[in-house]
Amino acid sequence: MLTDAPRAEAPPPSPPSSESTQADSTPQQFEPSAAPSLDLDPSAFAARQTVARLKLALGVVSALSALLVVALLVSLATRPSADPAPPTASAAPSAPAAPAAPLPQESVAAPKGCLLAAPAAKLAPTIERSIAPHLTSVGDRVAIGFASTRTRGAGILVDPRTLDKQAVFEERGGRVRDVVLASDDPPAFIVNRDKGPLDAARSLVGAPNTLLGFSRSGISRSVNGDLELLWKLERDKVTEPRSASAGGTGYVVAFRKGGLGGEILLGWLGPDGTPKGELEALPAGVRYVGTPAPAASPSGVAVAFAGRNDEDEDWGIRVALGSLGEVPKQVKDFRVPPGGPGRGAIAPALAALGDGWLLQWTEGGPGNYQVRVQLLSADFEPIGDPVLTSPKGASAGQGALWVSGTRALSVYVLTVAGFDELWGAAVECP
């Protein structure tokens, strides 16, 4: 802080005289505007005036010097510095920053499976359960050929969205082996019976005029009544040969030989129906096997069947997977999803859906069988949850599948008061 500039000292008082003493006793008269006169020696007064002027000059110089110093200090204090000024006092520690809010995690959608598009409904009042139905597309509807009794063939058209149905065919005769759509404009069906040239005959899928069955020499085909041997085979408790179309690759054919303790044989036919190689046995991996259900997709071939190793063991579903045109060598178990009645799984039906599969099976025990459907990937891994297509509390089983795009129709046999009826449910697999 700067001090005030030094002030000029007042001249010392003159020594007392007799006149001044007299003045103390007698009041001195002043004019209002005149200054008091000083009774001093002229030379002394001049010297004192000179000293006063010098002191005043020194004071002015000192004040100017002080102002110059102040200006210099202010300039130094306000000049910007290249280096940050050090803190003059330690800053109080700041409060810890609040943790950043976590970024929202991108949700991973669960894999979508199939949904029940239309609940179970009765499609026909009677059906012979030993004859598997044929399902074929006819415009926006599904043609179902089946045996309503052992000696009567029947055909109906079903809307796969609403399950509305229309009976369009019925024919009585000998024992029915197969009922298949022959033409779709107008819808017409063919009934294959036991009196034909082949035993255990069944139409080749996609070629209704071609029958596959067993002759004395082995498995043969009949085209408009003309027989041709396909593979030589000793007949021994064989099941009907079931087939699936594989587009330009041809057809896959599978059947069981030797009863429950036998083996599953598989072979390929070309697009013209002639054999492509020999029959080969699937490496089932179990002691007992059921009737095989083949299917083909753009990515490969699959054969589903029921299997078990012991008579006291529950049945399970197994599947053989392979490339188109080849006999599958990879066989794996299908793990039945929870939520059903349990107690084993039988009667698989299989259809291709895109590059994957749609599997139907019967699950449960006597008096409590259910039909369930599961969407599967190309390597038979489950996608989403299974769908119960049969009514709750009813006993249903066996059956077949139809697939077109993302829509599917599940049909099966439902027993009511001892009578077998044909039922179905619509399924959507988005």
Half-sphere exposure for 168 (CA within 13 Å, toward CB): 24
Residue 132 CA to residue 147 CA, distance in Å, equals 8
How confident is the model at residue 185, as a pLDDT? Answer: 87
Q: In this structure, what is the dihedral angle of CA atoms 280, 284, 285, 289, given to the nearest 10 degrees?
A: -130
Centre a 10 Å sphere on the Cβ of residue 421 and count the other Cβ atoms it contains. 18
pLDDT of residue 197: 85
C-alpha distance from residue 388 to each of 79, 88, 120, 269, 360 (Å): 86, 79, 9, 35, 10
The model's pLDDT over 331-345, given as tens digits with 9 standing for 90+, comes to: 999 999 999 999 999
With respect to residue 383, please indicate whether it lies within any of the assigned structural domains.
Answer: no
Whether residue 219 is contained in a domain is answered as: no
pLDDT at 385 over 90: yes
Tens of pLDDT, residues 158-184:
999 999 999 999 999 999 999 999 998
Residue 402 and residue 135 in contact, taking contact as beta carbons nearer than 8 Å: yes
What does the pLDDT read at residue 254?
99
The number of residues making up the chain comes to 430
Q: Which helix (H) or strand (E) holds 79?
A: none
Domain interval for residue 292 = 233-333
pLDDT of residue 195: 83
* Distance between CA atoms of residues 430 and 425, nearest Å: 16
Q: Give the separation between CA 51 and CA 57, rounded to whole angstroms.
A: 10
- Report yes or no on 305 lying in a domain: yes
Residue 166 lies in a domain: no
Say what the pLDDT of residue 267 is.
98
Q: Which amino acid is at 50?
A: T
Q: How many beta carbons lie within 10 A of that of residue 356, not counting itself?
A: 19
3-class SS of residue 53? helix
For residue range 30-74, what is the model confidence (pLDDT) as tens digits? 333 333 333 434 444 344 444 445 454 455 445 555 555 445 454
- Rounded to the nearest angstrom, the gap between the alpha carbon of residue 196 and the centroid of all alpha carbons in its chain is 51
Strands 251-257 and 263-269: antiparallel
- In the DSSP assignment, the letter for residue 382 is B
Residue 163 lies in a domain: no
What is the DSSP secondary structure assignment for residue 27, as one 8-state letter? Answer: P
Residue 73 resides in a domain: no
Domain count for the chain = 1
Structural domain includes residue 16: no
Long-range Cβ contact pairs of 29-36 (< 8 A, separation 24 or more): none
pLDDT value of position 347? 98
In the predicted model, is pLDDT for residue 240 greater than 90? Answer: yes
In angstroms, the first-to-last Cα distance of the chain is 89
In a domain, 168, yes or no: no
Q: In this model, does residue 291 exceed pLDDT 90?
A: yes
- pTM here is 0.75
